[in-house]
Structure formats: structure tokens, C-alpha cells
Chain A
């Protein structure tokens, strides 16, 4: 890289700017936690603002003087300015809430920062294999001579034959743990890299789209020439190198057979004893890929749809004419701006027929006036016995307790349902609640929210009642102590 290239990058690259920012650790850690660690797409403004608020509060508490004095919203607005370019801020179709998404610049800056951490183990062997394998794929894939192809296939076959013979004779070469770890590290780096690369692929698609739009907007030739140009370029996103590679990848992911194979291989590898600390995210990385790829795919679809609309030649011509007229309007309007006596009135059609529906309105309805007596009524005497209010139904817990203890004398634990089957509920819901609030040294109550229990009884009115509650078990205390 030459000086000028680096100078331009230093000035223009959003990723470099992010690394130079004083707040870089805060920005990177926050954006990584929101978008990259969880493989999340766009996040709605209220959610991300709330999370940034929390993050800032925690960070500010560490220092006597707040290091991050601005509000979350100010930071987000700053980061999403086009000239800053760390977040993309937009309104997704069908939502009135601003959404934010991290740009590839964030991914790059973060990747660079994390590459500074010294790796405990740098595998070189696996990468050599990959490099050789890639060369072999290319050399073989590009070979047009049938003889040469056959020669390569025969060579591979004799290799396989030799290996079969070796295994048959009992000589099984097991990959040593270091080589396994080397490959696993290589795999997880690639897998994770792929995940974040989708962001960049998406950004590149957007850039392609923008270039095309610019070309159309600045087009000076004839309409026919424009259509040629446009028709030739319509599928430029799908036909770019990036687009083709992406589609091949997406097709691979969508193939059920390959997905299954991938999942099985992954599970087998994760089970290897040599791979001590497996990355939990790796276990489902193919689903994450699928999510990320689907998001990119949706972007491509939206882009082509928008582009088609933009390229509608009628719209295009109208847009150009409109821009010409608007330039003239601006010039004239500027010249008139000091005058207060310009009485230009234009007219425009309403967008909707003016229909009044007087009969749809409700008729006048006389409202009964409520007499308001604002004199205080005074409080009642303090000698009123209010206890009657609380004791409409009284359940004596003592017999219930006794029932539980008796039941536990025979077994170590008993479920509420069984208790009630032996001694039907007499006082309705109040009695059921009394059971739940029982306590004593002899037993302990355990609620299990995972299961439900149905309890039935017949109330005084003869109506059958059914209550659904978590499974309640009474455990004998000795049992508890024994555990």
C-alpha cells in the first residue's frame, strides 16, 4: 500500500475513524454486544437506546467524573450520521420506529482489535492444508483435458486404495489432539468470519445499487440508450461475483441433505475430547448463517424491487423534468423571498372526495345529571367491628394440617390432589388456599410450576368447581433433611 492510499483510508475509512475515536472501547463493546455477539439484525430505536443507557450508566459509575456525559440518543445520532457511518439508521417497511443496524466498519474495527489479543495457539498446519486444497480444487476444476482429469481421479483412487489397505492391516492413523485443535480453531474462525461477512456483502449490494442509481440519475443520453444500459445492468447485483458466490452459498444452506450432514459432522467434532472448550455458538452456527443469509437475501429482494420502480422509464423522465423545474422554482423563489406582497396562490386537488355524513353523527342525547353533594360525609365511628368483613368464610387450618401430617405418616411425600381425594374440599376456594398456606415443622410444601394439577369440588350451591394450579407436593421434613 502506498502512502496516498493509506492517507485516503486514514481520512475516509469509517472503521479507522472508529478505532481512532476516544470512546472506541465503549462503542465497540456496546455495538458488539448488541449486534455481533448475538447475530442480530436491525434493532428498534427504543430498545437500543435503553441498552445504551444502561451501558453508559454502568460505565459512568466506575469513575468519579462521568466519562460519557452525553445521552444515549445523542451518541446514537452521532454514530449514525452519514459522515460517521458506524450505524445505519432507517425506517423498515411497515414500521414507524427508527431501526439501527451496525455497518461493516464496526465489524472490521472489532476484528482488528480482537486480532491484537495474543492467541494461545496459532495453528499453521490446517491453513496449509486448506491452501493446498484450494489450489487443487482450482487446478482440477479448471482442467478441460479429459486425460488430465482422469489422471487426477486415478491418482486419488490409488491413494484411497492404499489407505483402505492400511486400515485393513490394522494400521489406523489417528489425528493427534494438537492437529484436532488446530483444525477446530480454524473452523470456528472461518465460521464466525462468515457470519460477520454477510454484513459486508449486504453493504456491497447497497453500494452496487447506489452506483446504478447514480448512473441513471446522471444519464444524459437518449431514452433508448438508457434502457439498453439499464436492461443490461438490471441484474447486476445478482450477476456480480459477490452475488453469484452468495447465491451458491445460500443454495448450499437451503439444501436439507447438506444441512444434515453439516450438523452431524459438527456434533461429532464437538464431542471430540481434544476440543476442550467448545464455543457454544458454534453448535448452531449453521442456523445463524441461515438467519444472516436470509436477511441479506431480503435486502437483495428489496433492492431489486426498488430499483425496478426507480427505473420505470416514465418515472425516470418525470423525475428529471421535475428536477429541472425545481431548480428554476428555487431561483425564482429566492429572488422573491424579501417580498411580503407576493400573492401567489396555487391550487391542488384534494386526495379524497369531500363527503360529509351528517346522519352518521349520533343524535343529541340528554344526559342525566348526577347531583353532586360536596359536603363531607364524615367518617364512621371507630367502634365498628370490621372483622366480620374478613371472616365471611373461615377455614380452620388445624384439621387440614392434621390431615397432611397423617398422610405423611404413611409415605414420605403426598400430592395435594391425593390429599383432596381422601378428604374432599368443604369450604371451597378458601380451603384450597388454606392448604397452600399451611406450614409446620413436620413438612414442607413444594410448588412445581412445570406441571399443572386440577382440583374439583362442589360448592354450597351444588355447582361443580374446577381449579387449575401448579403441582403442589407436601414433603415430610425428615425427607428434606435426608436429601
Chain B
């Protein structure tokens, strides 16, 4: 593919199939991105048939599909979910939350586009929140496993260098949003409350 793709007429198939395969980024999927922008309304109608909606963030330069929320009125038959909901363990959730924080801080501080963290930086950030009863090596293994899961989820991308650097993909902002974080916070708060409570504190079975 040449660097400057030919300006062909926008093609719905190109736009939709690339979306079905994964997040479409402006910089890595130049062609599909162009088709998608030109055909947003058509794409929207098309994926609505299978219960999806398309989210395009022009400023950040990415687009992805998400399940259409239930309309709630019960008139329409429920459409099976095409996009799986992934279960996240406590520590993976914390990792994602902390990555989101790094991203916000990064945006407030520097004008670079890409946040790249080394494995050591991530471990430094997360270790504080890990259980302190386990040996260090096990904690590090667990963090490594969580990094791998975050890569699978599409929120991190390995840079492939010797330091195990990963790029925090900006798509993280769309998923780990204020809503998700406040739900997570509420559950943490409930637990913290329970343990702080002297009655429930030592006596959990």
C-alpha cells in the first residue's frame, strides 16, 4: 500500500469490516479511517442492525463499535450481545484506573501524543496497591500477567523493545471513563467501609 492511498470513492464495506476487526485508528488505518469518516451515517445504520453503535472520536483519532444500550421500553426484542463483556480482577481494574490517571497527567503536562511507559514504571506505579503479604516476585509476576491482559484488551500496545515498554492507547479514555471509575470507586468504598467497621473487620469467614 502506498503512503498516499488513491482517493477512491468511500466504500461501506471497507469501513464496516475494519471496525468489526477492531479499533480503527487514524494513524494506522489511514484508508479505513477516511472511508469511515465519509460514511458515518451509513455505517451507523448498518451496524445498528446487529445491535451495535459506532463511536467516532475525531479529535483523538479513533473509532470503535460498542453494544447499543437497551432502549428499556421492552418493545424491541433483545438482541444478543456481539461484544463480550470482560470480567476484570481487582488488580487489573486498579491497573487500568492507574493507567487512566497517567494518561490524564500526561495530557496535562506535555504536548507529546504518545504515552509510553516501561514495564518498570508500571510496576512502580502498581506495586503500592498490591497485597503486601506476598513475596515481591509473585507480585511482579501478577503485574506482568495483568499487563498482558491489558494488552489483550487493546488498552496497551507493546513497543517491542528491551525494556518491555508499552504504549497506553488513547482508546483507554473511552472505556475507563468517569462512569466506570465511579462504579469501581463505589464498590471499593463499600469494601473499605466493611473492613474499617470493627464488627465486620476481623470476623469475616
Q: Which of B43-67 contact A (CB under 8 A)?
A: 52, 59-60, 64-67
Contact A322 B65 (CB under 8 A): no
Q: Mark B156-178, 1 if CB is under 8 A from A, else 0.
A: 00011100000100010101111
Contact A345 B88 (CB under 8 A): yes
Known: A323-B101, A347-B86, A347-B87. A309 touches B60 (CB 8 A): yes
Q: Mark A62-101, 1 if CB is under 8 A from B, else 0.
A: 0000000000000000000000000000110110101000
- List chain B residues, Cβ under 8 A from A351: 22-23, 64, 153-155, 171, 175
Count of chain A to chain B residue pairs whose CB atoms are closer than 8 Å in the complex: 178
Known: A319-B107, A321-B178. A333 touches B22 (CB 8 A): no
Answer whether residue A166 sits at the interface, using C-beta atoms and an 8 A cutoff: no
**C-alpha spacing A443/B98, complex, angstroms:** 78
Within the complex, what minimum Cβ distance (angstroms) separates B97 from chain A?
Answer: 5
**C-alpha spacing A90/B165, complex, angstroms:** 13
Q: Which of B113, B130, B171, B195 sits near A306, CB closer than 8 Å?
A: B113
Answer whether residue B4 sits at the interface, using C-beta atoms and an 8 A cutoff: no
Stretch at the interface among B7-15, B32-40, B70-78, B179-187: B179-187
Q: Which of A94, A210, A340 sits near B109, CB closer than 8 Å?
A: A210
Contact A348 B22 (CB under 8 A): no
- List chain A residues, Cβ under 8 A from B114: 91, 93
Q: Mark B118-138, 1 if CB is under 8 A from A, else 0.
A: 000000000011111100000
**C-alpha spacing A415/B74, complex, angstroms:** 92
Answer whether residue A326 sits at the interface, using C-beta atoms and an 8 A cutoff: yes
Bin chain A's interface residue count: 35 or more
Write the chain A residue with the least CB distance to B61: A309
Answer whether residue A145 sits at the interface, using C-beta atoms and an 8 A cutoff: no
Answer whether residue A341 sits at the interface, using C-beta atoms and an 8 A cutoff: yes
Answer whether residue A411 sits at the interface, using C-beta atoms and an 8 A cutoff: no
Answer whether residue B27 sits at the interface, using C-beta atoms and an 8 A cutoff: yes
- List chain A residues, Cβ under 8 A from B180: 346, 348
Q: Which of A317-353 contact B (CB under 8 A)?
A: 318-319, 321-323, 325-326, 328-330, 332-353
- List chain B residues, Cβ under 8 A from A344: 90, 93, 184, 187-188, 191
Q: Which of B20, B86, B111 sits near A210, CB closer than 8 Å?
A: B111
Answer whether residue B94 sits at the interface, using C-beta atoms and an 8 A cutoff: yes
Contact B94 A352 (CB under 8 A): no
**C-alpha spacing A330/B27, complex, angstroms:** 34
Q: Which of B22, B59, B66, B185 sits near A312, CB closer than 8 Å?
A: B59
Contact A354 B83 (CB under 8 A): yes
Contact B196 A90 (CB under 8 A): no
- List chain A residues, Cβ under 8 A from B183: 346
Contact B90 A345 (CB under 8 A): yes
- List chain A residues, Cβ under 8 A from B2: none
**C-alpha spacing A329/B178, complex, angstroms:** 12
- List chain B residues, Cβ under 8 A from A345: 87-90
Within the complex, what minimum Cβ distance (angstroms) separates A169 from chain B?
Answer: 63
Contact B113 A346 (CB under 8 A): no
Answer whether residue A150 sits at the interface, using C-beta atoms and an 8 A cutoff: no
Q: Which of A96, A319, A335 sits near B192, CB closer than 8 Å?
A: A335
- List chain A residues, Cβ under 8 A from B111: 206, 209-210, 213, 302-303, 306-307
Answer whether residue A214 sits at the interface, using C-beta atoms and an 8 A cutoff: yes
Answer whether residue A265 sits at the interface, using C-beta atoms and an 8 A cutoff: no
**C-alpha spacing A213/B96, complex, angstroms:** 24
Answer whether residue A231 sits at the interface, using C-beta atoms and an 8 A cutoff: no
- List chain A residues, Cβ under 8 A from B185: 325, 328-329, 332
Q: Mark A174-217, 1 if CB is under 8 A from B, else 0.
A: 00000000000000000000000000000000100110011011
Q: Which has the most chain B C-beta neighbours within 10 Å: A217, A337, A354?
A: A337
**C-alpha spacing A306/B60, complex, angstroms:** 9
Answer whether residue B108 sits at the interface, using C-beta atoms and an 8 A cutoff: yes
Contact B189 A210 (CB under 8 A): no
**C-alpha spacing A420/B155, complex, angstroms:** 68
Q: Which has the most chain B C-beta neighbours within 10 Å: A217, A308, A352?
A: A352
Answer whether residue A117 sits at the interface, using C-beta atoms and an 8 A cutoff: no
Within the complex, what minimum Cβ distance (angstroms) separates B96 from chain A?
Answer: 8
Q: Which of B97, B100, B131, B173 sits near A340, CB closer than 8 Å?
A: B131
**C-alpha spacing A318/B172, complex, angstroms:** 13
Contact B83 A332 (CB under 8 A): no
Answer whether residue A389 sits at the interface, using C-beta atoms and an 8 A cutoff: no
Q: Which of B93, B108, B128, B161 sits near A319, CB closer than 8 Å?
A: B108
Answer whether residue A450 sits at the interface, using C-beta atoms and an 8 A cutoff: no
Contact B192 A336 (CB under 8 A): yes
Contact B195 A348 (CB under 8 A): no
Known: A319-B107, A337-B131. A350 touches B83 (CB 8 A): yes
Contact A352 B178 (CB under 8 A): no
Q: Which of A209, A214, A319 sits near B104, CB closer than 8 Å?
A: A319
Answer whether residue A59 sits at the interface, using C-beta atoms and an 8 A cutoff: no
- List chain B residues, Cβ under 8 A from A214: 108-109
Answer whether residue B21 sits at the interface, using C-beta atoms and an 8 A cutoff: yes
Contact A93 B89 (CB under 8 A): no
**C-alpha spacing A340/B130, complex, angstroms:** 9
Inter-chain pairs besides A322-B104, A346-B184, 5 sampled, C-beta below 8 Å: A306-B113, A333-B94, A337-B132, A344-B184, A351-B23
Q: What are 9 A-to-B residue pairs whose CB atoms are below 8 Å?
A: A321-B178, A322-B181, A326-B98, A345-B88, A345-B89, A349-B66, A351-B175, A352-B22, A353-B82
Nearest 5 Cβ contacts at the A-B interface: A332-B188, A217-B108, A353-B82, A351-B154, A325-B181
